[in-house]
Homo-oligomer: A and B are copies of this chain.
Amino acid sequence: MKAVVYKGPRSIAVDQVDDAKIEHPCDVLVRITTTNICGSDLHMYEGRTSFETGRVFGHENLGQVIEVGPAVSKVKVGEYVVLPFNVACGFCKNCERQLSNYCLTMQPNPKFAGAAYGFADMGPYQGGQAELLRVPYGDYNCLRLGEDAAEKQTDYVMLADIFPTGWHATEMAEVYPGDSVVIYGAGPVGLMAAYSATLKSAGRVMVVDRHPDRLKLAESIGAIPIDYSQADPVQQVLDLTMGLGADAGCECVGYQAHDPSGEEHGEMTLNNLIASVRFTGRIGVVGVYVPQDPGAKDELAKQGKFPLDYGLMWFKGQKMGTGQCPVKKYNRALRDLVAAGKAKPSFVVSHEIALDEAPTAYENFDKREDGWTKVAMHPST
């Protein structure tokens, strides 16, 4: 089968690789019809992780079931399914409490937890930027779609990662109807967080970024765009909230946050959040932070340390949730919203391409070329 293979820093190719196949009685085999490029793919693409050359990318996957293992009972051949990026067992201490983001079974390193398709340090699972994908524990990991699946693929594929991840940010931030919410980052995840806050009837949603095209997308869903290259974003948020700060905040940027001059400051958005969220406020962090970052310039950042304004955070009595999203906790509800026509997350998709166009797409997306918000690929149709 054809697949997007990692060759080394900023180098990928669409190669022929061994076909994915059923390897365990609980496996499901899916022919991928839509798979997205994610910001996390770029971390690996840039060579800043331990992702091994030769591996296949792709953790935002949707497709049609073409074969099921002998132990599979719910999922049927022919059904469209969307796969959470987390690969999970369904029965470990974490999965049974809806924490499939930190599955203890599928992660081979006993010091870690959690697994994913085509992801550095997240187990040996091949990605779905390919014609076929093997899905372990298919009955648990497949979310079945209805008759509108083929037609709404670019909406439903968002359930694999970024829509639930944005939603998770607002869950950790405990966004309640009427709340004012500030979101740092208007990339695809930040936009999904803003969209989630809107769907939850937040009173006011403020989105901080410096890319005009992304801020415009935020505005298109009713959010208030805040351009941090023009003025201090903290002051802008305070001005919009009677000086009190937002009720809730979401971090959707991560350790590669750039200041207005373009320099990387991993702690910047976190400290801005602490300053722009009110006393007793809640903060949800889905932007990625890493325990070690040998490529960082800063000595602390190399060790995964960040100089947080923790004194202020404690003084304000804030609460902070962190980490990857447990997609299964939300994907069923979000699917039903899409099915009911009440959510249309595909508004972030800027490009739909064939698998062969992956190398160009990675290059443009990595450069944050204007207008390259989100890329959906269609390996099969």
Which residues of chain A in 82-130 are interfacial with respect to chain B, using CB atoms and an 8 Å cutoff?
A: 89-94, 96-99, 101-102, 105, 110-114
Which residues of chain A in 303-335 are interfacial with respect to chain B, using CB atoms and an 8 Å cutoff?
A: 303-324, 328, 332-335
Cα–Cα, bound, A63→B201 (Å): 27
Q: Taking CB as reference atom, which chain B residue is nearest A286? A: B314
Cα–Cα, bound, A99→B102 (Å): 20
Pairwise interchain contact B279-A102, C-beta atoms closer than 8 A: yes
Query: Is A131 an interface residue, CB under 8 A from the partner?
Result: no
Query: Is A204 an interface residue, CB under 8 A from the partner?
Result: yes
Q: Taking CB as reference atom, which chain B residue is nearest A95? A: B90
Determine the chain B residues whose CB is within 8 A of the CB of A114 once the complex forms: 279, 317
Determine the chain B residues whose CB is within 8 A of the CB of A314 once the complex forms: 285, 288-290, 322-323
A333-B179 contact, Cβ under 8 Å, with A94-B280, A110-B243, A317-B101: yes
How many of chain A's residues touch chain B, expressed as a range?
A: 35 or more
Interface centre among A113, A199, A315, A340 (most CB of B within 10 A): A315
Closest approach, in angstroms, between the C-beta of A274 and any C-beta of chain B?
Answer: 10
Query: Is A24 an interface residue, CB under 8 A from the partner?
Result: yes
Contact of A307 among B177, B285, B307 (CB under 8 A): B307
Total copies of this chain within the assembly: 4
Pairwise interchain contact A305-B315, C-beta atoms closer than 8 A: no
Which residues of chain A in 13-44 are interfacial with respect to chain B, using CB atoms and an 8 Å cutoff?
A: 24-26
Closest approach, in angstroms, between the C-beta of A84 and any C-beta of chain B?
Answer: 11
Cα–Cα, bound, A342→B322 (Å): 29
Query: Is A221 an interface residue, CB under 8 A from the partner?
Result: no
Pairwise interchain contact B332-A178, C-beta atoms closer than 8 A: yes
Pairwise interchain contact B102-A280, C-beta atoms closer than 8 A: yes
Stretch at the interface among A46-54, A67-75, A211-219, A346-354: A67-75
Question: Could you give 21 example pairs across A and B, Cβ below 8 Å?
Answer: A24-B71, A73-B89, A91-B139, A96-B140, A101-B280, A102-B317, A111-B243, A177-B334, A178-B337, A179-B333, A200-B201, A203-B333, A203-B336, A289-B313, A293-B311, A304-B311, A313-B322, A314-B322, A318-B322, A318-B323, A319-B321
